[in-house]
Amino acid sequence: MPSSDDRSFTERAADFLDSIGLEDLTEDYREENNAGDDRLADAFDPLPDALADVPEVHEVNKVNTHRDGDDILVPVVPVVLEDAGEPAMDTVWDVVGTILEAIHSVFKGFHVRHYDVQFAYADANEEDVVYRRITVQPTLVERYLTDPGYTLSDLRADVKAGDDGDDGVPPVYWQQFDAESMASSGAYAGGGGAAVASACAGASAGAAASCAGGAAGAGGAGGAGGC
């Protein structure tokens, strides 16, 4: 059953840190996080059949400091898919495009290294959870949103062509990764794995959510666990 607390995961986590006296660990970007969540809620209303839950900005990670002294950020949006098996790539990119359209304006005034959209879904046998990522640098997003001749298909093609195999450097095209490992390229915050693992475990519906519960209980490695 979904929680009656309709605030974002990040807001609830930040409040918890405040309550135990760790205010200094609370993210500095709660306002942008909340604004991104609001825009995502609007963008995915009504909820598409492909999704188990409305995507949220799960993390706004400071990954470096710019030469001008400002933070360099990576906003992370996990997506839990409703159905088991490999999703259609057109569906995946429709979701990615909608997410980028929703949140880019929120972070446009900041130094963003890339946007990290992390997916979770159950394999065809509903036995393992599959975690994949797409990362896109803001220059490509800006072109997609401002150039009428540059379509979502063009963005997809450029992300695929630009993926050089280094998962820490954008763009990354639909790369499978171990979301439960702190060493994963999709894990930014200390003390845990990638954001999508938490989102998957807390999802309210879908085959991926039920598989994630089994994976968490079994402590499986490699982003997989039994249902």
Tell me: the pLDDT tens digits for 133-146?
A: 999 999 999 999 99
| Chain segment 149-162, per-residue pLDDT in tens | 999 999 999 999 99
Block residue for tokens 């171990």: 178
Measured CA to CA in angstroms, residue 29 lies from 5, 10, 34, 35, 211 at distances of 21, 10, 9, 10, 32
| pLDDT interval class at 219 (50, 70, 90) | very low
- What pLDDT does 21 receive? 42
pTM, entire model: 0.80
Q: What percent of the chain has pLDDT over 90?
A: 60
Has residue 32 got a pLDDT over 60? Answer: yes
Q: Are strands 111-112 and 129-136 parallel, antiparallel or unpaired?
A: unpaired
Has residue 216 got a pLDDT over 70? Answer: no
- What pLDDT does 185 receive? 72
| Chain segment 174-206, per-residue pLDDT in tens | 999 988 787 777 778 655 678 888 777 766 555
Q: Do 92 and 134 contact (CB within 8 A), yes or no?
A: yes
- The residue that leads in pLDDT, 17 or 48, is 48
Q: Are strands 111-112 and 71-80 parallel, antiparallel or unpaired?
A: parallel
Q: What percent of the chain has pLDDT over 70?
A: 75
| Chain segment 102-135, per-residue pLDDT in tens | 999 999 999 999 999 999 999 998 888 899 999 9
Spatial distance between the Cα atoms of 168 and 56, rounded to a whole number of angstroms: 22
Has residue 11 got a pLDDT over 80? Answer: no
Spatial distance between the Cα atoms of 134 and 160, rounded to a whole number of angstroms: 9
- What pLDDT does 159 receive? 99
- What pLDDT does 217 receive? 42
